[in-house]
Amino acid sequence: MRCAPQRNKLVAFACQIRDFRWQNGGVKIATRDASALTDADLDELAAMGGAFGIGAVSKAKDSWVLATTAYDGKSLVGFMFLTLERLGGTPCVVMGLLSVKHTPKRDLTLKGLMTEAFHRALMAFPDEDVVIGARFVSAVGLEAFSSVAGIIPRPKYHAVGEERAWGRRLARRYAIEPQYDPATFIAKANAQSGFIDYDPVKKPKIAAEILAFFKGVNVAKGGVLIVHGWTMAESLAKLGKKR
């Protein structure tokens, strides 16, 4: 199977656990090796009605290690692709893409998918602080990172060199470094092969300072904002606990 480069034995162990299932408030979560997805699986993901068509999910199968699905009964209501690896020697959850269907349970679906991401990180990197990174096209998607600490960029905070370096590392991992601007954390075009596709049931009130980060994101041209943060070891033990 395919695992991330520079993996340690724990990362390999986490990657090898296939088709693990659990349930979150009636939404069933299952994870397997992305390379095990069949053409029928990819067709189902593309037909869910989210932002990603067959081209994007087919590329995700080849680009990311783990694929997670969320079902409400027999209906697919969400999915994500991610990889656990070390970037610059630091444990990292690199989120390739995440999509949640517009259903009344979509907030619960997002929580289930993110709990699974944290659980995978906990298995791969026990007792370590872990970086989590993703691409966003709108501020409402940041709900996915509601439990993540030290988010960069964030209001009233000037990111320092190492924090900006994380943006560049993630841009390189997403293969969008040429169009990435480290000053704004924005990749200006052709960067939407994956991102957080989520729209909450109730529209949140978002601070103007947060909306300002997305002002330069040209969604029509494929622009994204790269965001990262930390899950400290003690927090990860709670966030990754299956309920």
139-151 tens-digit pLDDT: 999 999 999 999 9
Output the pLDDT for position 240: 87
Write down the pLDDT at residue 204. 86
Q: Tokens 């560049």 belong to which residue?
A: 168
- Structure token pair of residue 93: 């959850």
Q: With 90 as the cut, is the pLDDT of residue 14 above it?
A: no
Question: Which pLDDT score is estimated for 165?
Answer: 95
Which among 194, 189, 186 is positioned nearest to 216, based on CA atoms? 186
Confidence (pLDDT) at 199: 94
pLDDT recorded at residue 7: 38
What average pLDDT does range 3-13 have in this prediction? Answer: 41
- Alpha-carbon span 41 to 31, nearest angstrom: 13
Before 153, cis peptide (omega within 30)?
yes
Q: How many residues does the chain have?
A: 243
What is the structure's pLDDT at 34? 97
Average pLDDT, integer, range 11-37: 68
Confidence class for position 243, pLDDT limits 50, 70, 90: low
Estimate to the nearest angstrom the gap between the alpha carbon of 38 and the chain centroid: 22
Nearest-10 crossing angle of helices 106-124, 9-16: 140
37-96 pLDDT tens trace: 999 999 999 999 999 999 999 999 999 999 999 999 999 999 999 999 999 899 999 999
Average pLDDT in the chain = 90
Rounded to whole angstroms, the Cα distance separating 129 from 125 reads: 8
Percent of the chain whose pLDDT exceeds 70: 89
Whether 22 has a pLDDT exceeding 70, the answer reads no
Q: What is the pLDDT of residue 30?
A: 96
Structure-model confidence comparison of residues 3 and 44, the more confident one:
44
For residues 191 and 176, the answer to whether their CB atoms sit within 8 Å is yes
Is the pLDDT confidence value at 98 over 80?
yes
Through-space distance between the first and last CA atoms of the chain, rounded to whole angstroms: 29
Q: Residue 13: its pLDDT value, please? A: 40
Residues 123 and 197: their CA atoms lie apart, in Å, by 26
Q: What is the mean pLDDT of residues 155-164?
A: 92
Which pLDDT belongs to residue 203? Answer: 85
Query: What domains, with CATH codes, occur in the chain?
Result: 9-238 (3.40.630.30)
Kindly write down the DSSP assignment for every residue of the chain, as one continuous string: ----TT--HHHHHHHH--SEEEEETTEEEEEEEGGG--HHHHHHHHTTSSS--HHHHHHHHHH-SEEEEEEETTEEEEEEEEEEEEETTEEEEEEEEEEE-SSTTHHHHHHHHHHHHHHHHHHHSTTS-EEEEEEESSGGGGGGGTT-EEEES-TT----HHHHHHHHHHHHHTT-GGGEETTTTEE-SS--SS-EE---SSPPP--HHHHHHTTT--GGGT-EEEEEEEE-HHHHHHHT---
Residues 127-142, mean pLDDT to the nearest whole number: 97
pLDDT digits (tens, 9 = 90+) for 162-197: 999 999 999 999 999 999 999 999 999 999 999 999
Average pLDDT for 198-222? 95
Amino acid identity for residue 35 in this structure: S
